[in-house]
Amino acid sequence: MRDFSQDHSALALNTATLGHNLDGYGAGWSPERVIDACAARGYGGITFWRREIGGQAVQIGQAVRAAGLRVTGLCRTPLLVGPGAPDDVTGDFRASIEMAAGLGADSLTIVVGGVQEGTKGLGESLKIVRDTVARMADEAQSAGVMLGIEPLHPVYAGDRSCLVSVRDAVDMIEEIDHAAVGLDVDVYHVWWDRSLVDQLARLRADQIAGYHICDWLAETRDVLLDRGMMGDGVADLTAIRGAVEATGWRGFCEVEIFSKHWWSRPPEEVLDLCAARFRELC
């Protein structure tokens, strides 16, 4: 495993950590200010959300690279299935690929959506997801964007993600079998899964599209907005990264903390603490 104790250039910021869905960032920051703050602190990359980019994808991508960072990712495609999926999944999926390409983002995260109305269990919904991702994979590849299928925590299975285990995600990746389709591993969603090592061993390094860090607070008060800072919870961060790196993967570790608590803190403090905890614990 890599040693980050003296170097956090492998750390990327997911802008959700600064409260991307408040009015502006937590303190009204622009993307440009986030880029400057990350560059000043030695971060290696930034992952944005579509709502922050608007028509400025090319400019923002250039600004990131001019600051010496990478655009590690873009969140996200539309939900592909279930009550939250838009009428025109294909059109919105294509728009997200185009934005990711404009940014020069390494990957585009897919949150797949919940249970298709009129069905029970996860099976039918997963088939719809698989077929949709397979249909869009060539376009992503042509755009130079890796699609990252992200299994969410099983608490979201009803309405946000019928894909809730690494096993199901790896099954899907094998079924689609496309160079532009890989896996996003997020500590929050998978920390409880004792089959993680075995399931990740089924993948090559180039099938890991992203690795997201935070922590699971032992007493989680809100499953959406109470993620923990690394070290404040019960996830075994070393073991999880070890399982991901056992594939040979050596990519960015992207900190993504949805938290009312951290969103109420000054962004500078959050960025500093993320970097310190990353060096110490991740």
Binding site for a second copy (CB under 8 A): 82-83, 114-115, 119-123, 153-155, 157-159, 164-165, 167-168, 191-195, 216-220, 223, 233-239
Q: How far is the CB of 126 from a second copy (least distance, A)?
A: 8
β-pairing, 208-213 vs 181-186, is parallel
Residues 6+ apart with CB under 8 A from 156: 114, 164, 223
Residue 139 or 175: the one with the smaller Cβ distance to a second copy is 175
Q: How far is the CB of 223 from a second copy (least distance, A)?
A: 6
Max Cα distance, the chain (Å): 53
Residue 4 or 188: the one with the smaller Cβ distance to a second copy is 188
Please name the residue ranges forming H helices in 104-209: 123-142, 166-176, 187-190, 196-200
Residue 24 or 158: the one with the smaller Cβ distance to a second copy is 158
CA–chain centroid gap for 79, Å, is 14
Q: How far is the CB of 167 from a second copy (least distance, A)?
A: 7
Question: How far apart are the C-alpha atoms of 164 and 111, rounded to whole Å?
Answer: 10
With beta carbons less than 8 A apart as the criterion, state whether 111 and 152 touch: yes
Q: How far is the CB of 158 from a second copy (least distance, A)?
A: 4
Residue 66 or 223: the one with the smaller Cβ distance to a second copy is 223
Residue 44 or 151: the one with the smaller Cβ distance to a second copy is 151
13 phi and psi, to 5 degrees? Answer: -100, 125
Q: How far is the CB of 84 from a second copy (least distance, A)?
A: 10
The residue assigned the tokens 């130079």 is: 144
Residue 54 or 192: the one with the smaller Cβ distance to a second copy is 192
Nearest residue to 48 (alpha-carbon basis) of 40, 66, 29: 29
124 phi and psi, to 5 degrees? Answer: -65, -40
Q: How far is the CB of 67 from a second copy (least distance, A)?
A: 34
- For residue 268, the tally of other CB atoms under 10 A from its CB is 14
